[in-house]
Amino acid sequence: MNSRNNFYAKHDIKKGWNHPLATKVRQLDLAPVTKETLQAVCMWRKVKLYKTGNSGLPNSLSPHLNRQVDRAEVVDALSTLENMKLISRLGYQVINQNQVEIEYGVNTFVLDEY
C-alpha cells in the first residue's frame, strides 16, 4: 500500500464495513464505486484526495472492488451522492499543495427513505 494512504491504512479497510449504516448502504441501488464511497463517508465523515494520482481514498477502495479505482471515479461518486442528498459537504482543508481533506455529513433521514 502506498505510504501516502496512512489515514486509511491505520483503519484496516476491508470488505464488510462495520459502521451502523453499513447494512442500509449495502441495500441501496447504487454503482459499486458510489456505494463504496458512501461506505467510506459513513465510516470516517471525511475523504482524502490528492490532486494528482490515485492516492488516498481511490487506492484504498481498490481492494473492495477488485480493480484500480481512479480519482475521477471517486469525485463523480461524491458528486452523485451530494446530488441525491445522501451526503452534505461540510468543509474542506488543503493539507499541502497536493492533498485535500473534505469533510461530509451523512443525511441519515434521506438514507432511511431510500
Which of 13-17, 55-59, 62-66, 83-87 has the highest average model confidence (pLDDT)?
83-87
Edge-first strand order for the sheet with 87-96 is 46-50, 99-106, 87-96
Residues 28-47 have pLDDT tens digits of 999 999 999 999 899 889 88
Q: What is the pTM of this model?
A: 0.82
Residue owning grid cell 492533498: 99
Q: Note the pLDDT of residue 103.
A: 94
